[in-house]
Structure 1
Amino acid sequence: MSKENMVLQAFEIAKERYAALGVDVNAALNHLQQLSISLHCWQTDDVVGFETLGNQGGSGIQATGNYPGRARNMQEVKADIEEVITHIAGKHRFNLHAIYGDFGGKTVDRDQILPEHFTGWMEWAKEKGLKIDFNSSSFGHPKSGDLTLANPDKSIRDFWIEHTKRCRAISDAIGKYQDDPCIMNLWIHDGSKDLTVNRYKYRQILEKSLDEIFAAEYKHMKDCIESKLFGIALESYTVGSHDFYLGYGAKRQKIVTLDTGHFHLTESVADKISSLLLFTPEIMLHVSRPVRWDSDHVVTLNEDTIELAREIVRADALNRVHVGLDFFDASINRIGAYVVGVRATQKAFLQAFLEPLAALRRYEDNGQYFERLALLEEAKSLPWAAVWDYFCLKNEVEVGADFIPAVQKYERDVTSKR
């Protein structure tokens, strides 16, 4: 029997198993087909970007590893992403940082960037069927230091306010061009390595900076604000904490970004979904995998990722939650890292779509907690993998581990020659 026939046969059996529990597999597949994941550009080049300012790295950012084949320019980033999307099903998005503009070899400081520096990206994305998201970039700059938007020095603070304002204008231009809102994420590393007695002061300054930045109204972009537990070399205090941005987001009705690597390892990010949905308009997810600290490992199909997807589906919030990836692993093949991370995220959502939720809710509503627990456990071993294989087959991407030789070939032919 051919592999295709085995996949089809297993899928039909899986459909029957799920149907017996009241789960519509075709509906689940349709939901998965519509799930658009924002691929982060910085996995290709270890968060280097294309500036000529002498990017210093640091400022809360650290890519670890020195695997050969890092993208060195815009053409190589595009080629890498084009390769990635041949191995993943569905239509997705592409997430750019401000440091990835097409600056033509000229020195363009961050308070001078314009939409025209991203025209090439817009045209390329349209050609490839991608939508673009955007990020301001406060790290790796001579004026970064420990504080940017929360800096008491007005000249430095104004520089970063102007940068972020321009990022919003660029995002609006991108959204207008692609006829779909561009999601603009704001994350700053601001904090203190050791103890501070000015927590309130810095947060007051940050609030005022944000109010100035968000004063202009745009039609074609959406604002996100992202917290962090700590930054590297800024471990003792983070100005933009989760509490700060949750309060600001609820007050100003901004989208709050939840990065799964930006919380204490024992915290459940999934548990935050239902609370944020009550008080903020939408949620942006940056799906990552922390290992002991925010080390941005490649996303895998672990319980944290599955539970995150389940909470979104259980809340019927797919139209209010944007899903993006955020990892930069320079210790392995970067293309393979992308493919593994995207497919793992899709698998997590597929499991969520296939959950026998109606039956589980009936048990819970009736106080049948043994039955609820038993079905939750049994659902873990239902044949979701057969449905996943069918999804890949239907989308004409590799089934199972068949993408590994293709990624190896790209490395032999392309990245190993850089």
Structure 2
Amino acid sequence: MSKTIEERYQEAKARYAEIGVDTDQALKQLQKIKISMHCWQGDDVTGFLNPDGELTGGIMATGNYPGAARTPDELRKDLEKAYSLIPGKHKLNLHAIYLDTDEPVDLDQIEPKHYSKWVEWAKEQGIGLDFNPTFFSHPMMKDGYTLAHPDQAVREFWIEHGKRSRKIAAYFGEALQQTCINNFWMPDGMKDNPIDRLAPRKRLMDSLDEIFTETLNEAYTQEAVESKLFGLGAEAYTVGSHEFYMGYGLTRDKLICLDAGHFHPTEVISNKLSSLALFSKGIMLHVSRPVRWDSDHVVIMDDELQEIANEIVRNQLLEKTNIGLDFFDATINRIAAWVIGTRNTQKALLKALLEPVEELKEMELAFDFTSRLVYTEELKDFPYGDVWNYFCCQNNVPAGLDWLEEVRTYEKNVLSARS
């Protein structure tokens, strides 16, 4: 370990100790937090079910940066490089379209065997797996609808897909002995104002109820339901709104997924966490960065990311919250995007863990808002970066800018060879 990093950490440790914060304890807590990194940044949400198919359902990846993964093996190799630059052991979030099999199979036919290579790889890497059924980019997504379609045959196709996805998630959890979070999102909606908003929501509710009929072992898998404000082709009306899924999750005992980009431009998810924590079974986060709409930009250290981390830590919600990422940028090196977004999420959590939370709460309870403001502002200048660099060294990953050179070397030796 670099002596300079060690010395700077000891100085930072002493500085934080002055305000009652134990940096060693904060790092122990951070080490336990698993971030569910999303596979779809590596290939622009294409998947391997129909790699030549067009993206539909409000999904769009822009840019043509060279080196996107074309096969499951290439994607796993890229993920290994990304994980090698991120401190800690985490999880990978797979969409159903990322199956790995030579057998021709459709979404209503998928089985655990079609993902067995991912499980074996996850065991080798020491990581967990989460899952998402894929309700988009498929011919059976008709007229902008899947589970809410008025045609029963269309709904039955997607209901079967949902049921099979649950079995796959349970397989992941049992095989890896880590609970697999299975997140349900579908883009059903209309481009222009509908006459009947209720009937599609009734069909969606009934379809989901049918999917969730069988009781599964929650030690192996738990389900989350995810809302969205709008999407491409569904600008006026989305069946699965926040109100719909909040009601569904609360009444069906499901986790509620909050995506940072799925709300009005001035609406943030950090302010929703404490309310949901009071009433919901649990929370799933899709940490993203919207720019004017749900554009899924790479997560940066902005105010909302920090507020999300603060809410989780200040309210002791780490055990109740599953933290996942959701972004895809095809204009930059895809491995760098993973590393930037994941490390920034960890940095925000670290900054939150380095607050004297109980003292700040006591100030607030005593209506000492002056001290509260002084502390929260001065903390912004505390040397959390020296604590972060020490954490990286503890985990044998590059600190500071050093990781960028590894990505550039990988791009030169591996990514550039892909046509």
Bin for the TM-score computed over the shorter chain: over 0.9
- Identify which range, 256-265 or 46-55, moves more after superposition: 46-55
Judge conservation of contact 1:229–1:242 (CA < 8 Å) in 2: yes
2:100 paired residue among 99, 102, 126: 102
Judge conservation of contact 1:136–1:167 (CA < 8 Å) in 2: yes
1:46 alignment counterpart: 44
1:277 alignment counterpart: 277
Could you tell me which runs of 5 or more consecutive residues in structure 2 were left unpaired when the two chains were aligned: none
State the Cα deviation string for residues 327-366 of structure 1 (Å, max 9, x = none): 0100000011111111100000000000121221111111
State the Cα deviation string for residues 196-223 of structure 1 (Å, max 9, x = none): 0111111111111111111111112100
| 1:62 equivalent in alignment to 2:60 | yes
Could you tell me which runs of 5 or more consecutive residues in structure 1 were left unpaired when the two chains were aligned: none
Judge conservation of contact 1:94–1:130 (CA < 8 Å) in 2: yes
After TM superposition, give the deviation of residue 55 of structure 1 in Å: 2.6
After TM superposition, give the deviation of residue 53 of structure 1 in Å: 8.0
2:78 alignment counterpart: 80
State the Cα deviation string for residues 49-82 of structure 1 (Å, max 9, x = none): 1114853312111011110000000010000001
CA distance in 1, matches of 2:234, 2:104: 29
Aligned residue pairs: how many? 415
| 1:19 equivalent in alignment to 2:12 | no
1:404 alignment counterpart: 404
- Identify which range, 200-209 or 3-12, moves more after superposition: 3-12
1:311 alignment counterpart: 311
Judge conservation of contact 1:52–1:107 (CA < 8 Å) in 2: no
2:131 alignment counterpart: 134
State the Cα deviation string for residues 268-298 of structure 1 (Å, max 9, x = none): 2101101111111110111111111111111
TM-score by length of structure 2 reads: 0.98
TM-score by length of structure 1 reads: 0.98
Judge conservation of contact 1:40–1:96 (CA < 8 Å) in 2: yes
CA distance in 2, matches of 1:348, 1:240: 30
| 1:113 equivalent in alignment to 2:110 | yes
1:125 alignment counterpart: 122
2:231 alignment counterpart: 231
- Secondary structure of 1:323's counterpart equals strand
- Secondary structure of 2:2's counterpart equals helix
Segments of 4+ moved more than 3 angstroms: none
- Secondary structure of 1:224's counterpart equals strand
- Secondary structure of 1:285's counterpart equals strand
| 1:302 equivalent in alignment to 2:299 | no
Pairs within 5 Å for 1:185-204: 185-204=183-202
Judge conservation of contact 1:56–1:142 (CA < 8 Å) in 2: no
- Identify which range, 74-83 or 6-15, moves more after superposition: 6-15
> What letter is aligned with 1:179?
Q
> What letter is aligned with 1:254?
K
> What letter is aligned with 1:148?
T
CA distance in 1, matches of 2:381, 2:61: 36
- Secondary structure of 2:47's counterpart equals coil
State the Cα deviation string for residues 83-137 of structure 1 (Å, max 9, x = none): 0111010010011000011131x42111011110001100010011111100000
1:253 alignment counterpart: 253
- Identify which range, 346-355 or 375-384, moves more after superposition: 375-384
2:145 alignment counterpart: 147
2:174 paired residue among 166, 173, 176: 176
Percent identical: 50
- Secondary structure of 2:295's counterpart equals strand
CA distance in 2, matches of 1:385, 1:357: 19
1:357 alignment counterpart: 357
Judge conservation of contact 1:356–1:379 (CA < 8 Å) in 2: no
Judge conservation of contact 1:225–1:255 (CA < 8 Å) in 2: yes
